[in-house]
Amino acid sequence: MSAAVVVLGGGPAGDVAALRGAQLGADVVLIERAELGGTCLNWGCIPTKSLLAGADLLRKIRNASDYGIMVPEPTIDFTRMMARKEEVVLKMRSGVEAACKRKQVRVVRESGVIEGDEVVAGGERFGFDHLVVCVGTAASGLPGIDMEHPRVVTSDGILHLKKIPKRLLVIGGGVIGCEFASLFAPLGSQVTVVEVLPQILAGVEPRIVTQFRKLVALQGITFHTERKVETVDYRKASLTAHLDDGTAIAADLLLVSVGRRPETAGIGLEDAGVKLTEHGHVEVDDQLRTANPKIWAAGDCVGGLQLAHLASAEAARAVENALGHNVMAMDRTVVPSCIYTHPEIAMIGLNSETAKAAGHEVKVGQARFLGNGKALGEGEPDGVAQLYTEAATGLLLGATVMGVHAVEIIQEVGVAIADGLTTDELGSIIHAHPTVSEDIMDAAQQAAGVAPYLS
C-alpha cells in the first residue's frame, strides 16, 4: 500500500515535496490556501524579475546611442508592464498545476489545520503517514508604521501598483529593498532607502557593497544607513518620514521591506508536538524531521536563508527521507544567493569575512569586468569577480560576483566548491572567449599567481 503524504503549503518547497513524493510512489495530497507556486512564483521572485527585465531593457534603450542606434526617449506604459508580469506568473503557475495533474497529486485549495494524524481542510480530513510542512513566510510589518495606510505597502502590495510613484521611500536596505530600488529608479522614481544597520545588503562582502553603492548612487538612489524612521506624517496622497537624525523625507509611497515572518501560527503545529523557535520557525533536525516523527518541514518556515532554490532542495530531501529513499542529512554547504539589482550580485560559499571568522587564512583572487571583452561589448564594464581561497592549499571557499550575468556565472563556482577544486584547478579549465564567465577563470588564475594579464 502506498504511503500517504500530505504537504501543507504549495510554494517552491511544497510543490517539489508533492511532486517528488508522487515520483517515489506515495499517495500525495497538496493543500494550498492561495495559489500554487507560493510567494516566489506569485508575489516574489518571478513577478519582480519580470519587472526588473523591463527596467533593464529601458536602460539599454536609453543608452542605445552608445551603440550607434538613435532612438527617442521611450514612453513607459506601466499598465502593460504590470500586465506582462501577470502573464509570466500565470504561465509559470499553469506549469506547476499541469505537473501536479500529471503526477496525480491531489490539490486542495483550502487552509489546512493539523489534528492528530490528519489535516483538516475544506471540511475534509486527510490522514497521513508523513506530513511535510512548507507553509513559507509573509512580509513583516514595522511597529510604529501604519501598515493599513494607502501610501504604505509591503513587497506584496507594491506589485499591484497602478502607477509609478514619483517619490519612493524604502525602509530596509536588504535584498528586497534594493531590488525594488533598482526597479523604480530607471522608471523615474526618486528613490530613498533607509537602513538601520551600518551596511546595506548585510552579509554581502563589504568591499563589494562599497562599490555597489557608488554605482547605484549614479542611478539616483539615495541611502541613509545607521538611521531609523522615528515618526511619519500621513496625508491622503503622500507622507513624510522623519529619521532619528532629524532628516525629513517626503514620499508618495512607503515600502516597508524589513524581512518576513513564518506562517506557522494557528495551524496546529504545537498541539501536534512540533517545536517552534521564539520567532515562529519550525525546529527540525539535520534530516528535516520535527519533534513529531511523522512531521517534516522545509523551506522558509524552518528559518535560515530564504531562497526558493534552497526551499526546493530541502523539500526534496525531506520527502525522500520521510519515504526512506536515499536517506541523508540536508547539505547546505553550497547554496548560491543572488541579488537582481543593477548591477547584479551573486554569492556562494564563504566570503573574506566569514572565511576568516571560520578560522581560514584567506587569499582573494580578483578579476574586474573592465578588462572583460564581453562585458565591455555589452556596455557593462562595472563589475568584479572575487574568489576566496585557503591561502595554504588554494582550496576554493567561496565567491562573490558583481556585474552583468553574475547570477548566471556563479553556478560554476558552486560546482567547483562541491568538487573540492583549488583555484589552480579551476583556473586551468579552458573557458570560452569572449564570455563574462572568463572572469571566474581569470580570478582563479590571479589567485594562483599565473594569470597572464593580472598576476
Where in the sequence numbering do the catalytic residues fall? 433
What's the CA gap between 308 and 96, in Å, rounded? Answer: 14
* Contact status, residue 183 vs residue 257, Cβ threshold 8 Å: no
What's the CA gap between 25 and 345, in Å, rounded? Answer: 40
Strand 253-256 and strand 152-153: pairing?
Answer: parallel
CB-based burial of residue 69 (10 Å sphere; 0-12 exposed, 13-18 middle, 19+ buried)? exposed
- Per residue, the 3-state secondary structure of the chain, as one string, reads CCCEEEEECCCHHHHHHHHHHHHCCCEEEEECCCCCCHHHHHHCHHHHHHHHHHHHHHHHHHCHHHHCCCCCCCCCCHHHHHHHHHHHHHHHHHHHHHHHHHCCCEEECCCEEEECCEEEECCEEEECCEEEECCCEEECCCCCCCCCCCCEECCCHHHHCCCCCCEEEEECCCHHHHHHHHHHCCCCCEEEEEECCCCCCCCCCHHHHHHHHHHHHCCCCEEEECCCEEEEEECCCCEEEEECCCCEEEECEEEECCCEEECCCCCCCCCCCCCECCCCCECCCCCCECCCCCEEECCHHHCCCCCHHHHHHHHHHHHHHHCCCCCCCCCCCCCCEEECCCCCEEEEECCHHHHHHCCCCEEEEEEEHHHCHHHHHCCCCCCEEEEEEECCCCEEEEEEEECCCHHHHCHHHHHHHHCCCEHHHHHCCCCCCCCCCHHHHHHHHHHHCCCCCCC
Q: What angle do CA 426, 432, 435 make, to 5 degrees?
A: 100
The grid coordinates listed for 130 are 508523513
